[in-house]
Amino acid sequence: MTPVLPNESAVVRFLRLIRFSHTIFALPFALGALLVATRGRPSPRLLALILICMICARTAAMLFNRLVDWQLDQRNPRTATRHQLVRRPIALVMLVLSAAAFIAVAGTINRLTLLLSPLALAIIFFYSLTKRFTAASHFFLGLALAVAPAGAWIAATGRLTLAPMLLAAGVIAWVAGFDLIYATQDLEFDRGEGLHSLVVRLGIARSLRFAQWLHLGMFFALLGFGFAASLGWLYFCGMPLVAAALIYEHRSAGRLDLAAINRAFFQSNAFVSAVFLVTVWIAL
């Protein structure tokens, strides 16, 4: 449930609508990719432009998701009051502005980022439609977040190499895994609405086991990224912390307690992304 508090400002309600606090999940991977691509020396201008692009793209993606699911959210007990945070016309205007700002800012970085910016928006928007026709929607969410580190690398170098592709693959597996865990909360609603997810197809127990395999894949992808990017031993010293956070998340999810799932979802994933960024920074 998303309670609407009477004394909240319009800005606070807007930030709650787009779950701005969850920016911490994808941003460290984009910044980590940028640090590696520039060997720890990104220009202040490039860093600022990438941060603006990240914020604009994520804002546009979340607003598109909210608008597409406006009626569904009202029928879902977990999100039944979400539409009360911001009026629909305002959400639509902010979607157009944030999408336009993303393309405009991306265009100031280099020619390739300008050409790829509409494709990036198409990818992150497309996720919101996938639950209507495929159980693989979790992987499309992962792909949407994987755009961030790949885009940061392209912004810095003008091309893609093995290292950012391994990192993007890790992000896809990581996001798909934690989205599977999160989706266990909506099993009955999704089934009743005819929506698709692996939780609906596999059931909760098998979905949680699959999420474990996905996070194992993510762990090995991060190791591969470290080797491909020629990061030092300090980077690899942080990987046991990543593994510990993922284990904690899965143990919490295994209790099938809503509060535990939400707590583990935010704390564990925020910790994983923060550890990744810090270890990349100190390893360069």
* Domain presence at residue 1: no
Res. 266 pLDDT band, cuts 50 70 90: confident
What residue ranges in the chain does DSSP mark as E strands?
none
* Domain presence at residue 5: no
Is pLDDT larger for residue 83 or for residue 154? 154
* Domain presence at residue 252: yes
How many whole angstroms separate alpha carbon 120 and alpha carbon 214? Answer: 24
* Domain presence at residue 168: yes
Q: In terms of residue numbers, what domain contains 241?
A: 10-283
| Predicted pLDDT of residue 187 | 85
| Predicted pLDDT of residue 192 | 86
| Predicted pLDDT of residue 268 | 87
* Domain presence at residue 63: yes
* Domain presence at residue 51: yes
pTM for the predicted model, two decimal places: 0.91
* CATH number, residue 224: 1.10.357.140
CB environment 76-114: b (16+ within 10 A), e (fewer): beebeebbebbeeeebeebbeebbebbbebbeebbebbe
| Tally of domains in the chain | 1
pLDDT digits 0-9 by tens, 235-265: 999 999 999 999 988 888 777 666 667 776 7
* Domain presence at residue 4: no
pLDDT digits 0-9 by tens, 21-76: 777 778 999 999 999 999 999 999 999 999 999 999 999 999 999 999 998 888 88
* Domain presence at residue 235: yes
Res. 164 pLDDT band, cuts 50 70 90: very high
